[in-house]
Amino acid sequence: MVSTNSYIILSGLLFAIGMFGVLTRRTAVMVFLSVELMLNAANLSLVAFARAWGDLTAQTAVFIVMTLAAAEVAIGLAIIVTIFRKRETTNVDALAAMKG
C-alpha cells in the first residue's frame, strides 16, 4: 500500500517536469506534450487525493480532465498541423508575423 504522499510527490515531479518543458522547449509539439504531462500529473494527484479522502467525486473530475486532454489534443494538433503544413517549422520563436 503506497502512501498518498508519495503519489503527490510523484505528481509534483511530473508537473515540474512539464512546467520545465513548457518553459524551455521551443517546438510547439514539445510544449504541447509538456502540457499534457502536467494534465496527467494533475490527474494522478486527483486520484491519490480521492483515495485519501475516500470519495469518488474526484474520479469523475479525472474523467473530465481526460476528456479535456483529448479535446486539447484534437484542437492543438489541428492548429499545429495547419501551421506546419504552411511553413516547415513549428518553432514558436519563428512565428513572428506579429511583433510580440
Binding site for other proteins (CB under 8 A): 8, 11, 15, 18, 22, 28, 31-32, 35, 38-39, 41-43, 45-46, 48-50, 52-53, 55-58, 60-61, 63-68, 70-86, 92, 95, 97-98, 100
Closer by beta carbon to other proteins, 1 or else 86:
86
Which residue, 73, 49, 53, is CA-closest to 62? 49
Shortest Cβ 62–other proteins spacing (Å): 9
CA distances from 14 to 42, 92, 98 (A): 9, 23, 33
Q: Give me the numbers of helices (H) and strands (E) for the chain, helices first please.
A: 3, 0
CA–CA distance, 61 with 83 (Å, rounded to integer): 32
Axis crossing angle, helix 28-53 with helix 57-86, rounded to the nearest 10: 180
Shortest Cβ 1–other proteins spacing (Å): 15
Closer by beta carbon to other proteins, 3 or else 70:
70
Shortest Cβ 77–other proteins spacing (Å): 6
Question: How many residues appear in the chain?
Answer: 100
Shortest Cβ 19–other proteins spacing (Å): 8
